Amino acid sequence: MSHSNIQIFDTTLRDGEQVPGCKLNKEQKLIIAERLDTLGVDVIEAGFPVSSPGDFASVEAISKIVKNATVCGLTRSVENDIKVAGEALRYAKKSRIHTGIGTSDSHIKFKFNSNRDAIIERAVRAVRYAKTFTEDVEFYAEDAGRTDNDYLARVCEAVIAAGATVLNIPDTTGYCLPNEYGAKIKYLMENVKGIEKAILSCHCHNDLGLATANSIEGVINGARQIECTINGIGERAGNTALEEVVMILKQHPTLNLDTNINTSLLYSTSQMVSEHMGIYTQPNKAIVGANAFAHSSGIHQDGVIKNRETYEIIDPKDVGVTESAIVLTARSGRAALAYRAKNVGYELTKLQLDVVYASFLDFADVKKEINDSDIHQIIEGSSIYSQIISA
């Protein structure tokens, strides 16, 4: 079966930057954009140019330095937004305008005090106008997750006819279940006239912790782009985490879905974004958390030391982590202690290990985590130190 390429649309600098308390300056945004380009993302959503002069300047500066990715700017379906985005993107080698409007009944009634037909007219006008600045126009149907599928299909048909080449189907509120989101994408693939002229894009929020699962269901059902952020940062509970969807597709080759991401840069990119944004990544975060490749219970450590794959489904080097960590705590076993002791220079026989292990447990009960200098202290203080051979 042939492989399909999934475009990675990174919105760290737009949806990600909407995180309360996070404010990146222009220089920081440029550093992150350059890194995203090297990482291999296909599209960088650089900002919302009309929102402030600072955002305009950042999008313009990013457009000038990005070498490979398409640079994208967000707009509402408002003429001036689109004009300003067009100006901010004018230096980009490849530019995209991302315009759209709310399509759920709740958005139509409460946000716009409008009706379904009038919303389609506005959407079409916005796409046509955006096309006067760039060929590459993406349309978002905000709150598509709660939009009636028949109406959503009509919206999609109308904007494709107006020239949209990417249709973003956001689960703006993070409400959909994976099977519902997948069924929505399937419905659009099967019912939108002209769908072969565009691709569908998944843009999922994580309010119920389902953003990654929903995005994967989306691409399994025919979407060809995923919108995501580094470390899953974003409004409220965040967006789909780039590193998660990329590694899911890599670790499941039977899905036949590939990305252009250089996965060995994932860990360092995660660290870089977290430092610039001042938002620390939880230790148990999938793929890039400090504990993602750390083993601390005796049973797991014994397995990993014998063969890494007993408890690891990803080779840490594939995401840029040098090696799995064997963390020594009072829950660790002899195998882990012998392994770490060898790493710092001691070859312990079985009998020596029994003696040293008893002192190790006493030490570890007091101190939560045992580091390399603690190991030296434990071994040098043991009654059999003179008999221990250096490794």
Residue 295 DSSP SS3? strand
Per the DSSP assignment, residues forming a β-bridge with 272 are: none
Name the binder of 168 from ligand KIV, Zn ion, none, CB < 5-8 A by kind.
ligand KIV
Residue 302 interaction partner, one of ligand KIV, Zn ion, none, beta carbon < 5-8 Å per kind: none
Nearest residue (CB) to Zn ion, 15 versus 217: 15
Rounded to the nearest whole angstrom, what is the least distance from the CB of residue 172 to Zn ion in the complex? 6
Q: How far apart are CA 99 and CA 155, in angstroms?
A: 13
Sign of the CA dihedral with 337 first, then 341, 342, and 348 last: negative
Spatial CA neighbour of 385 closest among 71, 377, 181: 377
Cβ proximity to Zn ion, 233 vs 378, nearer residue: 233
Decide which of ligand KIV, Zn ion, none touches 142; Cβ closer than 5 to 8 Å per partner kind: ligand KIV
Compute the least distance from the CB of residue 36 to ligand KIV, in Å: 17
SS3 163: coil
Contact 311, 327 (CB under 8 A): no
Give the contact letters, 139-178, x = binds to ligand KIV (CB under 6 A), - = no.
Answer: -x-x-------------------------x-x-x------
Q: Are 227 and 14 in contact (CB under 8 A)?
A: no
Each residue 217-256 as x (binds ligand KIV by CB under 6 A) or -, in order, gives: ----------------------------------------
Residue among 15, 81, 136, 138 that touches Zn ion (CB under 5 A): 15
- Closest separation in Å from C-beta 365 to ligand KIV: 49
Give the shortest CB-180-to-ligand KIV separation in angstroms.
Answer: 16
Interface residue with ligand KIV, options 15, 17, 37, 60 (CB under 6 A): 15
Q: Could you tell me the two tokens for 341?
A: 């002791």
Alpha helices in the chain (DSSP H): 26-39, 53-65, 79-88, 105-106, 116-130, 149-162, 178-191, 211-220, 242-251, 266-277, 298-306, 334-343, 350-366, 372-380
Q: Which two tokens stand for residue 191?
A: 């019912």
Under the criterion CB under 6 A, does residue 214 sit at the interface with ligand KIV?
no
**From the CB of 300, what's the least distance to ligand KIV, in Å?**
38
Residue 16 binding result from ligand KIV, Zn ion, none, given CB thresholds of 5 to 8 Å by partner type:
none
111 vs 367, beta carbon nearer Zn ion: 111
Please report whether residue 203 would count as binding ligand KIV according to CB under 6 A: yes
CA distance 202 to 206: 13
Biggest alpha carbon–alpha carbon distance for the chain: 87
Q: What is the closest distance, in whole angstroms, from the C-beta atom of residue 63 to Zn ion in the complex? A: 22
Nearer CB in complex with ligand KIV: 170/238: 170
Supply the DSSP string of 71-108, one letter for each residue: EEEE--S-HHHHHHHHHHTTT-SSEEEEEEEE-SHHII
Minimum CB separation of residue 85 from ligand KIV in Å reads 13
CA distance 87 to 347: 66
Select the binding partner of residue 140 from ligand KIV, Zn ion, none (C-beta < 5 to 8 A, by kind): ligand KIV
- The residue number with the shortest CB distance to Zn ion is 15
d(CA 42, CA 92): 14
Amino acid at 261: I
Which among Zn ion, ligand KIV, none contacts residue 133 (Cβ within 5 to 8 A by kind)?
none
- # residues near Zn ion by CB under 5 A: 1
Q: What is the contact surface with ligand KIV in residues (CB under 6 A)?
A: 15, 140, 142, 168, 170, 172, 203, 205
Q: What is the contact surface with Zn ion in residues (CB under 5 A)?
A: 15
